[in-house]
């Protein structure tokens, strides 16, 4: 399958609200998806991710900016001339057609030879794990299988770009996990350039080569799953990617491989993860696995355990502190656990703490 890049240059989309007011759904968004890459647009409801995807598909026209697929400017080209395929949350299968005919539909429209259609349909159904399902009605399949048919129907026409709009939202948790793995496997095998929209960070983390985190129509950060989780450029991205506690911090010295900071009068030596700018204010960000509890100890953050939540291999302890409620993750069965109501100290693991711009 051919793979091409997708480029957005300063794309904005303004809708008119009921009172004639402007709704800036997408605000000056620029990014590039490399050929064969899997990129996810991630953000809270209303952040503009679906509108961005719909502009790439050609269902919406940008108010400003340019969209390129490969070298071609497609900004004002209708969807059917863009060489893209899209998979929706509501599978969009034709209920009166068999699985085989659903998948064959795009090829028939393109007047492909009958024998060739049969061959291609059967090979793509095998790819998505539905070999032998040609004659079944879609209604006889599970939600996950129906979404696989939708994926087969999208792939069979060999588009240059594949777009997904929250395709797993209608599935239950277990099926969603299985489908994530399937989608990634198939995308890697086919090597098709893919853009995926979701508000589910786990989905974004497991599927993507890179994640574009959006908020209020704007891009907040672009990076690999590891980068946006480990080196968030703002408190918004840090919190959106997972639970995190923020502490006020003073930076004392920036050295080649480390940074010395003080929190509550105690000096911590952090690994240097990000470039520190003089005129930016920072907070210290600690994920639950970057903290542990001890018996009350001078110089550490004092607290009281409010609740322990047992989750199989680990326990989440919610601790009341002067910096608000903090969650600390402890491996089950270790001595790190404290009873609810116990007075404790929250200790920061220096090697996992990170400085984050205080936005
Ligand atoms: P969700 O996850 O809820 O779908 P989203 O991040 O995909 O959210 P969009 O659907 O792109 O967000 O919407 C971004 C903003 O644009 C929202 O404020 C939304 O109400 C507005 N919007 C989207 N489509 C239209 C439209 N056709 N007319 C008016 N406003 C719109």
Angle subtended at Cα 194 by Cα 220 and Cα 203, rounded to the nearest 5 degrees: 60
Global ipTM: 0.95
Residues 31 and 108 in one domain: yes
CATH number, domain of 324, equals 2.40.50.140
CB atoms within 10 A of CB 262: 14
Residue nearest to atom 20 of ligand 1 (CA): 46
CATH number, domain of 74, equals 3.40.50.300
Query: What pTM does this model have?
Result: 0.91
* Domain assignment present for 1: no
The atom number, within ligand 1, closest to the CA of 166 reads 2
Residue nearest to atom 24 of ligand 1 (CA): 51
For residue 342, the number of C-alpha atoms closer than 13 Å in the C-beta half-sphere is 16
Q: Examine the fold and report which residue of 197, 213, 236 is the final residue of a domain before the chain moves on.
A: 236
Angle subtended at Cα 132 by Cα 126 and Cα 136, rounded to the nearest 5 degrees: 120
Compute the distance from residue 52 Cα to the ligand 1 centre, in Å.
10
Residues 211 and 248 in one domain: no
* Domain assignment present for 297: yes
Residue range 259-265: average pLDDT? 87
Hey, which residues does 343 pair with through a beta bridge? 304
In terms of residue numbers, what domain contains 10?
A: 6-236
Residues 90 and 163 in one domain: yes
What is the arrangement of strands in the sheet containing 258-263, beginning at the earlier edge strand? 250-254, 258-263, 266-271
25 close to ligand 1 (CB < 6 Angstrom)? yes
* Domain assignment present for 302: yes
The atom number, within ligand 1, closest to the CA of 52 reads 11
pLDDT tier for residue 276 given thresholds of 50, 70 and 90: confident
d(CA 66, CA 223): 22
The best mutation among 48, 63, 214 to test binding of ligand 1, ranked by most ligand atoms within 8 Å of the C-beta, falls on 48
* Domain assignment present for 250: yes
d(CA 346, CA 344): 7
Residues 157 and 140 in one domain: yes
213-245 pLDDT, tens digit per residue, is 999 999 999 999 999 999 999 999 999 999 999
What is the tally of structural domains in the chain? 2
Greater confidence (12 vs 314) lies with 12
Residues 137 and 227 in one domain: yes
Q: Examine the fold and report which residue of 196, 220, 236 is the final residue of a domain before the chain moves on.
A: 236
Tokens linked to 75: 């900004």
Residues 176 and 140 in one domain: yes
Residues 174 and 314 in one domain: no
The best mutation among 18, 19, 24, 50 to test binding of ligand 1, ranked by most ligand atoms within 8 Å of the C-beta, falls on 50
């Amino acid at each position: 399958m051919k793979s091409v890049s997708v480029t957005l240059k300063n794309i904005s989309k303004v809708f008119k609200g009921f009172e004639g007011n402007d709704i800036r759904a997408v605000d000056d968004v620029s990014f590039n998806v490399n050929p064969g890459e899997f990129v996810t647009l991630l953000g809270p409801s209303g952040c503009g991710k679906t509108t961005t995807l719909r502009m790439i598909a050609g269902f919406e026209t940008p108010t400003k900016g340019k969209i390129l697929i490969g070298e071609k400017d497609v900004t004002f080209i209708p969807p059917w001339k863009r060489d893209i395929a899209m998979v929706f949350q509501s599978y969009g299968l034709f209920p009166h057609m068999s699985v085989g005919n659903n998948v064959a539909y795009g090829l028939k429209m393109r007047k492909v030879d009958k024998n060739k259609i049969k061959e291609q349909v059967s090979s793509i159904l095998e790819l998505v794990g539905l070999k032998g399902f040609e004659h079944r009605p879609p209604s006889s399949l599970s939600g996950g299988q129906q979404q696989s048919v939708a994926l087969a129907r999208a792939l069979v026409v060999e588009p240059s770009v594949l777009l997904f709009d929250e395709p797993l939202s209608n599935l239950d948790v277990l099926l969603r996990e299985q489908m994530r793995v399937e989608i990634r496997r198939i995308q890697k095998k086919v090597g098709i350039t893919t853009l995926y929209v979701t508000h589910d960070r786990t989905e974004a983390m497991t599927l993507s080569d890179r994640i574009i985190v959006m908020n209020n129509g704007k891009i907040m950060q672009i990076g690999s799953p590891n980068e946006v989780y480990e080196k968030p450029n703002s408190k918004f991205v840090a919190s959106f990617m997972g639970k995190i506690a923020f502490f006020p911090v003073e930076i004392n010295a920036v050295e080649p491989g480390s940074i010395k900071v003080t929190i509550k009068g105690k000096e911590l030596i952090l690994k240097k993860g990000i470039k520190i700018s003089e005129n930016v204010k920072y907070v210290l960000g600690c994920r639950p696995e970057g903290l542990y509890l001890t018996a009350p100890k001078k110089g550490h953050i004092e607290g009281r355990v409010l609740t322990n939540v047992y989750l199989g291999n680990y326990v989440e302890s919610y601790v009341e502190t002067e910096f608000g409620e903090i969650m600390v993750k402890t491996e089950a069965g270790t001595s790190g656990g404290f009873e609810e109501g116990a007075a404790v100290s929250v200790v920061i693991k220096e090697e996992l703490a990170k400085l984050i711009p205080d936005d």
